[in-house]
Structure 1
Amino acid sequence: MEISNVTKNKKREEELMEGEETIHEILAKLEKAEDPISDQNPYYCYQGFWVHKFVLKGIISFQTQFVARDDDILLASCPKSDFSGFPFSVEEENQGVPKKIEQLCSLENMKNLEVNKSGRHYVGIPNSSFYRKGEIGDWVNYLTPQMAERGKKLIQEKFEQSGLMFDF
């Protein structure tokens, strides 16, 4: 039992060290501003926001370790609910609560609600205008090529220093 814990602790320690190296590599690439009170605690511009070094380490650590699955809708899967601090009970899982939440929050359900099919927004826009097919590539039916190019440039500019790559 004790040897197993030592092995697990060693492995976790190695993972943390690798994560620290990744964080330092990312920090080295970001724009930096000194803290006016203490020069030992700099702020970094990360994804358009100025973030304190200690907060940024947690954000980067989470982003590098989190892997979303294609079938996760609004992160309603059980392991992720546990991570959020509000895990589903065994009874809720057996009753299909996560699946019900997924269905309630689905784009298909939301766009088919009567309130979203009829009536108008207070500025006069029909409520039905707020939902589209919600399918990959459907944007071509709603954006002009100029709008799409502007959005593409904006996304590339904002995420340039994050190391994320997007295929358009």
Structure 2
Amino acid sequence: MAFYTSGSFYQQIYESPYKVSLNEYMYVQVSLRRDDSSLVLFLDTCVASPNPHDYADYRAYYLLVNGCPRDNTFSTHVSGSRSYARFSFQAFKFLRAHPSVYLQCKVLICPANDYNSRCRQGCRTRKTRSLGSQHQMATMVLGPITLKDVEKSAVERLEDKVAKVDA
């Protein structure tokens, strides 16, 4: 799983932490270690959390659940038809509340020739019976993501001055 500079998914971002501006679009690609046309990837769930080890945390922010977007800026570019999945979303206010955030995605890996697989079903708002299709699940974590240093507002600068005078 990796960040990219744009929706062309041509240039990967290697910097860590990945520093973004509020409302900036972030582009992510999840792929198999090696290209395999006999398999397809499907994005099942993606969640952001300040804790890289606990995504059930009450502070977690869900971008995607059961293949269904939960964030109105989330957009799937490719999922369920290739050996990679691509999506984008805007850096959200959630980043203001935490010094850093991690992205965790659960993906399903299915045989490309199984057209009844969960990977081919897309968004599913309720549980349905399994039709005997097989798939594997993998969980990936990417991050940390932090906000770029933004210029302090006039109120914050005033608060800093008051704190120095009180000290």
Normalised by the size of structure 1, how large is the TM-score?
0.19
The structure number with the bigger radius of gyration is 1
Richer in strand (by share): 2
